Amino acid sequence: MGLDDALIFTRVVECHSFTQAAQSLGMQKSTVSRRIALLEERLGVRLLNRTTRKLRLTEVGQAYYERCRQIMLDFAEAEQAVMQLQQEPSGLLRVTAPIEFGQLFLGKVLGSFMRQYPQITAEVEITSRNVDPLEEGVDIAIMIGQPQDSTLIARKLFESARRLCASPDYLASHGTPRTVEALAGHRAVLLPQDSQRYWMLQGESVPCQRVLYCNNITFAREAVMAGAGIAALPLMFTEPAVQRGELIELLPEARLPSGEIYAVYPSRRFQAMKVKAFLDFLMRSLPVQEGHLLEPAAASLIRSRL
């Protein structure tokens, strides 16, 4: 109530009239008069001397008015600053992302975004852990899979198609599976999105022999290229190796569940311009075809395969 009364008092002084102040505030004159009287009663001082013809500030009222006027000016300046922030992206942008996505895509995209909007500064955490944007004060968390927290907004960025791959050496030693059923018993290199006991292919659950589990796609790819076993790897991480003959795609007709990548943020209401602008910029900048993300270096090679 104090700030409202200070605003009413300031407007009365500047309008030199209860009537004009009431009109500018959209209030009844009687309400304005009552609020000033209550303000004086609460402060225990007289702020205005009233006559039928004019209002005159008391000494205490003059000092109070000067302080209130400065508060109103500061408030107006704060509102203007907020509106300017909404007109052009600026300020600190905090982002988290999975390791591989951050290394392959985010650095280049964010760098280009910051070049376009030089008032942006950024803090980025490249991590394999799940991040709660609300708890950690993050503007945007890029994550695999849709979050369960219904208070968060999740914007789907793309899908990451996967393929079964193995090295030529592994296939020479263990044979090449020609059917989904023939996968049973093969050595499996698994990632967190995989079942720990089955290959999930075309709705079928095919038993697998887990020999290696890791939480990093690049690590899994390198292990498979070295002959550790078969893995379901994202298309964007395997195409160059397939083109070089270092990996062999298995059962291309078999459909694996795609990984879905989301940008997660606390609220769509009063969304900061920096967040909205970066999300739009990210969507425009990623090499996505038919909803699937492509590795930048391999994008031109695999358009015909999706």
Whether 265 and 237 map to the same domain: the answer is no
Mean pLDDT of the region 236-261: 86
Neighbours of 293 (CB within 10 A): 23
Enter the tokens of residue 241.
């190796």
289 and 234 in a common domain? no
Integer angstrom CA distances of residue 126 from 98, 141, 199: 6, 10, 29
- Is pLDDT at 24 greater than 60 in this prediction? yes
CB atoms within 10 A of CB 161: 21
The dihedrals phi and psi of 202, each to the nearest 5 degrees, come to 50, 40
Contact 197, 279 (CB under 8 A): no
Average the pLDDT over each of 105-119, 143-157, 175-189 and give the range with the smallest value: 143-157
- From residue 42, how far is each of 5, 37, 46, 119, 234 by CA, in Å? 11, 9, 10, 45, 69
Question: Does 305 reside within a domain?
Answer: no
Burial of 10: CB neighbours in 10 Å, binned 0-12, 13-18, 19+: buried
Same domain, 107 and 171: no
Average pLDDT over residues 182-199: 85
My answer on whether 144 and 270 are in the same domain is: yes
Query: Is residue 85 over pLDDT 60?
Result: no
Same domain, 9 and 122: no
Q: Are 36 and 9 in contact (CB under 8 A)?
A: yes
Give 45-58 pLDDT, tens digit per residue.
999 988 767 788 99
Cβ-proximal residues to 278 (8 Å cutoff; 6+ apart), any chain: 89, 93, 95, 110, 113, 120, 139, 140
Q: How confident is the model at residue 298, as a pLDDT? A: 47
Answer whether residue 293 shows pLDDT above 70.
no
301 pLDDT band, cuts 50/70/90, is very low
Same domain, 42 and 29: yes
Total-model pTM: 0.62
Q: Write down the pLDDT at residue 305.
A: 43
Tell me how far the alpha carbon of residue 152 is from its chain's centroid.
10
Band of the pLDDT at 270, cuts 50, 70, 90? Answer: low
Cα→Cα distances 136→90, 94, 130, 131, 245, Å: 20, 10, 11, 7, 44
Closest by CA position to 126, among listed 218, 212, 195: 218
Whether residue 139 is found in the same domain as residue 267:
yes
DSSP single-letter state for residue 251? -
| Rounded Cα gap, residues 89 and 287, in angstroms | 23
**Cβ 47 vs Cβ 9: under 8 Å:** yes
CA 282 → CA 79, 102, 151, 275, distances in Å? Answer: 29, 12, 23, 10
Q: Are 211 and 229 in contact (CB under 8 A)?
A: yes
Closest CA to 282 of 158, 162, 159: 158
Out of 70, 86, 102, a domain closes at 86
Range of the domain at 179: 162-250
Query: In this structure, what CATH number is given to the domain that contains residue 237?
Result: 3.40.190.10
Closest to 197 (Cα-Cα) out of 214, 179, 212, 209 = 209
User: Is 176 a domain residue?
Assistant: yes
